Structure 1
């Protein structure tokens, strides 16, 4: 490896660590309570170096939203390997339930960020958070459509609303069992959905 490649690799590694830790720390502490120093400390990067990569906290928030988007892409790509759309939706629910301890402590990563950013006056970052949620709705809608169900986009809203609701309640009550119980209910609901009978 040449000397010119090493600094570029270190630079990419620092930026990656900052982005990853920004997503985690902002989820755990919220935007208003988080400082650039908090994220620098979590990423093990000198605080002065943060400004080389991100000029403002808003830029770090955008990076955190990109991280959430990347996690969503990774999850849906993994789920898309399953042969049946119903199995993909069930695996999505199971993935949510698997995160119940973290969700009970901090809430849904994207949902809590979207709510907090909505309180701000600029209206830019909250739109970005909404984009991540919209992509999940679109992916979910495609699964319901592939099942041949009526109103696939409405069913997608029902499913994602249920997830956001159980995340909120689990967080507010600090009770991860809510996620487990409601996840099981959603799995039964999915099994009950059948395409319309084309013969009648």
Structure 2
């Protein structure tokens, strides 16, 4: 599954073959055919891998005591992947965009569900930020005035945009600069 996720990210769905996955996984191609009869099954496996990676990342971030620190650590994790983003784009975002152009299934919806999972996690962090700020008297009203779902959308859209531009321009510094801008934005929410 990890090999499928990597190869699909690097080559795209249409250019990837089962043999490519077998080569990346260092297994005979028959093994891949045994577990995955179609390319769509490989895409589903890659989406499961993206979900597992997201769950692992957010699980680690959830150990941080402050929701703002969790959100900022998420942005830093994105920036750490700047070279990969500049080369291939966001793993889930590029897959979702590619699948969205197909008319032959529901895989685009499944890719959207992974992104929705990230949006929901981020919105939960903004809700906690809003509650903690409202309870300690330090909230200047900014987080109270904004809907947590909208803030999450702004954050994830910022990531998708910087990832797409870093890839289109082949410039990892886009991730660094825009990541710093997102960190500043998170600090401005009081």
TM-score by length of 1: 0.87
Secondary structure of the residue aligned to 1:147 is helix
Q: Which residue does the alignment assign to 2:155? A: 159
Q: Which residue does the alignment assign to 1:191? A: 187
1:80 aligns with 2:80: no
Q: Which residue does the alignment assign to 1:146? A: 128
Secondary structure of the residue aligned to 1:120 is coil
1:171 aligns with 2:182: no
Between the two structures, name the one with larger relative contact order (CA 8 Å, sep ≥ 6): 2
TM-score by length of 2: 0.91
Point out 4+ residue stretches in structure 1 off by more than 2 angstroms: none
The superposition leaves residues 137-186 of structure 1 with CA deviations (integer Å, 9 ceiling, x where unpaired) of 00000000001123000000000000000000000000000000000011
Within the candidate set 41, 48, 59, 1:66 is matched to 48
Within the candidate set 8, 15, 21, 1:39 is matched to 21
- Please give the alpha-carbon distance, in whole angstroms, between the structure 2 residues aligned to 1:161 and 1:63: 25
The gaps in structure 2 that reach 5 residues or longer are: 131-142
Larger radius of gyration: 1
> 1:123 deviation in Å?
3.6
The superposition leaves residues 25-75 of structure 1 with CA deviations (integer Å, 9 ceiling, x where unpaired) of 000000000000000011111112212111111101100000000000000
Q: Which residue does the alignment assign to 1:4? A: none
Within the candidate set 12, 16, 33, 1:51 is matched to 33
The gaps in structure 1 that reach 5 residues or longer are: 1-18, 195-200
